[in-house]
Structure 1
Amino acid sequence: MKRQVICIIAEGSYPYVVGGVSSWINQLINGHPEKDFKILSILPSEKEEMKVKYKLPRNLLEVRTIYLADVYEHKIDKKIFMKYDEIETDIISRFINMELSSDTKKALELLSDKERSRAFNFTISYFFWEKICHKYRDEYPEKEFNNFYWSYKSVFMFLMNILQNKIPEADLYHSVSTGYAGVAGVLAKIKYNKPCYLTEHGVYAREREEDIIKSHWVRDDFKKIWIDYFYFLSKIAYKYSDKIISLFKYNSDLQMSLGAPKDKTFVVSNGVDVDRFSIIKREKTEKFIIGSILRIVPIKDVKMMIKAFKIVTNTIKNTELYLIGPYEEDPNYYEECKELIDDLNLNSNVIFTGKVNVMDYLGRLDIFLLSSISEGQPLSILEAMSSKIPVIATDVGDCRGMLNSHTEIGHAGIIVPPTSYTVMAAEIIALYNNESRLKLLGDRGYEIVNKYYRSDKFLGIYTKLYEDGWS
């Protein structure tokens, strides 16, 4: 019997980057041994040395990588230079103007065809020049043209690169975000006449908007171009995906507010192997140990956690902070964290473990922390809950929903405002001084995750979704 082949399309994650989304993909593949998978991985640049961070499952047939910034043909082929008729030109014009229309699907087909125009040819053509000059006169006449031009050209160079790369053939396409991954899934649907699903862990367009607003790589005058662009890509994914999945209701509602059709949009929560984590034996030590499973990157706001821990050490003398996870992804931020630890005289109290088996460390923790400024539905919290470790987390993503919305069981953790290290420290100290509450929160956390967030439930839903999409 033929095995179903599913192509998962991911941007900036599996199998090259460790994190929640990557772990989720790995779990999905390993949890469906009866199916075969392919990965289309989208990364910023081939110049960045990326190594596979996961043991690839046996049913993963292929990993294909697209590098956004590097695969350009910087030469003009006059034989293949803008071969579009008048109707096609009009369709592409609306696409360049980031207008979602009934012709958007046709525009993707046209722009993906190298026989009509190659990516580099397209963005240096008179046609493209004329269209963006028109947009400049209409929307940015007081701004510097040179920066406007390069901003707009970069946007479409990246997109054309995605559209003109080969996508693996499969029976079903599953994008793990909107943006480039979402558009690639839609293009695969068009080319191969196969269904495409979309699962968003966060809401990609909103996350990119926050990144761009804070960024220094694009001038303030032209940030709107990039923000509009990512919302446009999201609208394409929402319009043409067959199923649109979120991890929790708030994000599902946000997807619909941004254009996702209600009849295609629903929630599938994350799941963990509760039975595996629940058997971890608690290690009794004389120390009070606090910890977190995380990547040492700015979005995790590790500095907040370190500052909170410094306040804690003023009250709890025999304590340690374990930062469990890889630190290679952002070396500069890692060094900044180490400098902060040195400045606060915490070198003997804070342990960076690097990439390790988290099962070897969870049994040591008395409290689990999450200090992120943005999240979806963190698997690390579910793992801590499965291990009966009480959780203190910032009020981001679905942290509040996971810990405190199941009223029939009761609160299973403590929610604090993002960036507020003084509040986090106060809550750690309060829990330290209340041993019965520590145990109560841990027991409730286990009850919640066992009832609502089991991996067999999560995998069963995706099994049915995949079978529904296989004709």
Structure 2
Amino acid sequence: MKICLIAEGSYPYVNGGVSSWIHSLVTEMPEHEFIIYAIGAETKQKGKYRYTLPANLIEVKEIFLDEYLYEEKNWGRRYKLTDKEKNNLVALITGSKDINWSELFDLLRSKKFENVGEFLSSKDYFDLIEFLAGETYSRVPFTELFWTVRSMILPLFLTIRHDMPEADVYHAVSTGYAGVVGTLAKHVHQKPLLLTEHGIYSREREEEIIKADWVKGYFKDLWINYFYTLSNSIYEAADQVITLFDRNKEIEVELGCPEEKIVIIPNGVEISSYSDLQGAEDEDVLRIGAIVRLVPIKDIKTMIQSFGLIEKEISNVELFIMGPTDEDDMYYRECLQMVNTLGIKRIIFTGMVDVKEYVGKMDILLLTSISEGQPLAILEGLASKKPFVATNVGGCKELILGSKGDNYGQAGFIASVMNYEEIASYILQLCNDKKLRETMGSNGFNRVKNNYKRSSFITGYRELYLSVGGVAWQA
């Protein structure tokens, strides 16, 4: 079987999280061929993979959202759009549920739209914005509306114009642009479509936009509704929607995904991989570890503020932030500046490391994200018998405190998002009680060992692929 995985902003350009999940899926199913349809932000990422690609990964199709910068275009063309085509474009921009994705795909992929940038420099686009200005945005500067909508829809239009590789099954690993590409693949090739949502993409974009300085206040709703519209395309088109835990399923249903489509397949970890970890040689130092990428959604700044309080209370404590620092260089520099401003002495940024070489030496693990799915970092930490302090996002609470019928016990503490004082208080409690650390570490290990097996995760997807796509590919 040939399976096309559609990924946005992750594999093969980014380490950890969803990327690790994709790599595991491909590696553990050598009986299938895989294609990666990779949507990246910038063309400069092209070919810069963070992973050694498995032999059964036969193609990486790379699409970059800044490709429009390199298109030649002319201003002022007239496309002669029909009323139906105009209404569909307005529905996309305004977030109306009346959008017909099949008709939109056919329009944007027609010969009429050979150059996306040229359409967005056309008289027809000007007319659309003029209509929106008159109907909804009469008090907003016209030029701001013109350029805002252009920047909003241009990457999507560009992505829709690309050819779709042929496969037996299409599997998007988020909504957003990847979800629309999945919906397009089903429209073009009439093959089964799966969606796996790790975190809720539209909610994550909403959080980012609310906080963003680059979006004017009066355009925030426009952007937010737009991303919800993109997500709804694949909720409607997917044959099956997979999520990782109960709360995610509830949110998907709230957002309009039919409940009967949704199944839960949790992430999994191989317990045996963490059985012989090397412990710390110096037991006089308390070590806190964070397995995390240095990006805003992980809220490293709250982590730093928390540790600033801890360092004032305990002299023999260190924080190891283990993860790549080059994904968002500006954010990394801001974190370093915060460390310096607060006068914190014992934070170590390790950069990208083999987590197994470090995690055994940690006493406590920490995650301060403002949004998550079901973090592999927590699964890895619990498999290592380490207690965790994490924010109450995604599936963190379920992993650490357990769900209904789970009697393994508490594996750490759950804190409020961005509440660095609460986070610090929980860590201090663990720092001051070795027996509590050992008990919670053991509880987490037993939970992961029994409820989050890597073999169960792989078997779940293997059976799902076979149910929708037929027999396995044979070399």
Q: TM-score range by the shorter chain?
A: over 0.9
Q: Please say if residues 36 and 61 of structure 2, whose CA atoms lie closer than 8 Å, have aligned partners that are also in contact.
A: yes
Counterpart for residue 57 of structure 2? 60
Which segment is superposed worse, 393-402 or 110-119?
Answer: 110-119
Q: Which letter does structure 1 place at the counterpart of 2:266?
A: S
- Taking the TM superposition and a 5 Å limit, the aligned residue runs for 1:158-237 are 158-237=155-234
Q: Please say if residues 208 and 227 of structure 1, whose CA atoms lie closer than 8 Å, have aligned partners that are also in contact.
A: yes
Which segment is superposed worse, 316-325 or 68-77?
Answer: 68-77
> SS where residue 390 of structure 2 aligns?
strand
Q: CA deviation at 1:376?
A: 1.2
Identity between Structure 1 and Structure 2 (%): 40
Residues 169-189 of structure 1: CA distance to partner in whole angstroms, max 9, x if unpaired?
211111111111000011011
Q: CA deviation at 1:91?
A: 4.8
Find out whether 1:270 has 2:262 as its counterpart. no
**Counterpart-to-counterpart distance in 2, 1:157 and 1:418:** 33
Change (3 A) 1:304 1:77: closer
Q: CA deviation at 1:278?
A: 3.0
Q: CA deviation at 1:273?
A: 1.2
Moved over 6 A (4+): none
**Counterpart-to-counterpart distance in 2, 1:251 and 1:450:** 22
**Counterpart-to-counterpart distance in 1, 2:429 and 2:134:** 60
Counterpart for residue 338 of structure 1? 336
**Counterpart-to-counterpart distance in 2, 1:358 and 1:174:** 29
Residues 326-361 of structure 1: CA distance to partner in whole angstroms, max 9, x if unpaired?
1111222222222232334434x2211111111101
**Counterpart-to-counterpart distance in 1, 2:55 and 2:458:** 18
> SS where residue 260 of structure 1 aligns?
coil
Find out whether 1:245 has 2:260 as its counterpart. no
* Residue in structure 2 matching 1:105, options 88, 102, 105: 102
Q: Please say if residues 183 and 237 of structure 2, whose CA atoms lie closer than 8 Å, have aligned partners that are also in contact.
A: yes
Q: CA deviation at 1:118?
A: 3.4
Q: CA deviation at 1:49?
A: 7.2
- Taking the TM superposition and a 5 Å limit, the aligned residue runs for 1:247-396 are 247-286=244-283, 287-347=285-345, 349-396=346-393
Q: Please say if residues 299 and 372 of structure 1, whose CA atoms lie closer than 8 Å, have aligned partners that are also in contact.
A: yes
Which segment is superposed worse, 92-101 or 223-232?
Answer: 92-101
User: How many residue pairs are counted as aligned between the two chains?
Assistant: 466
Structure 1 gaps of 5+ residues are none
* TM-score, with structure 2 as normaliser: 0.92
Q: CA deviation at 1:323?
A: 0.9
* TM-score, with structure 1 as normaliser: 0.93
Q: CA deviation at 1:395?
A: 1.4
> SS where residue 469 of structure 1 aligns?
helix
> SS where residue 143 of structure 1 aligns?
coil
Q: CA deviation at 1:424?
A: 2.0
Which segment is superposed worse, 36-45 or 301-310?
Answer: 301-310
Residues 448-470 of structure 1: CA distance to partner in whole angstroms, max 9, x if unpaired?
00111111101110001111121
Counterpart for residue 442 of structure 2? 443
**Counterpart-to-counterpart distance in 2, 1:114 and 1:68:** 21
Counterpart for residue 473 of structure 2? none
Q: Please say if residues 323 and 350 of structure 2, whose CA atoms lie closer than 8 Å, have aligned partners that are also in contact.
A: yes
- Taking the TM superposition and a 5 Å limit, the aligned residue runs for 1:394-405 are 394-405=391-402
Q: CA deviation at 1:95?
A: 4.3
Q: Please say if residues 6 and 170 of structure 1, whose CA atoms lie closer than 8 Å, have aligned partners that are also in contact.
A: yes
Q: CA deviation at 1:266?
A: 2.2
> SS where residue 388 of structure 1 aligns?
coil
Q: Please say if residues 100 and 236 of structure 1, whose CA atoms lie closer than 8 Å, have aligned partners that are also in contact.
A: no
> SS where residue 366 of structure 2 aligns?
strand
Change (3 A) 1:132 1:154: same
RMSD: 2.2
**Counterpart-to-counterpart distance in 2, 1:438 and 1:92:** 56
Which segment is superposed worse, 310-319 or 172-181?
Answer: 310-319
> SS where residue 140 of structure 2 aligns?
coil
Q: CA deviation at 1:437?
A: 1.2
**Counterpart-to-counterpart distance in 1, 2:368 and 2:102:** 41
Q: Please say if residues 78 and 124 of structure 2, whose CA atoms lie closer than 8 Å, have aligned partners that are also in contact.
A: no
**Counterpart-to-counterpart distance in 2, 1:140 and 1:371:** 38
Q: Which letter does structure 1 place at the counterpart of 2:419?
A: S
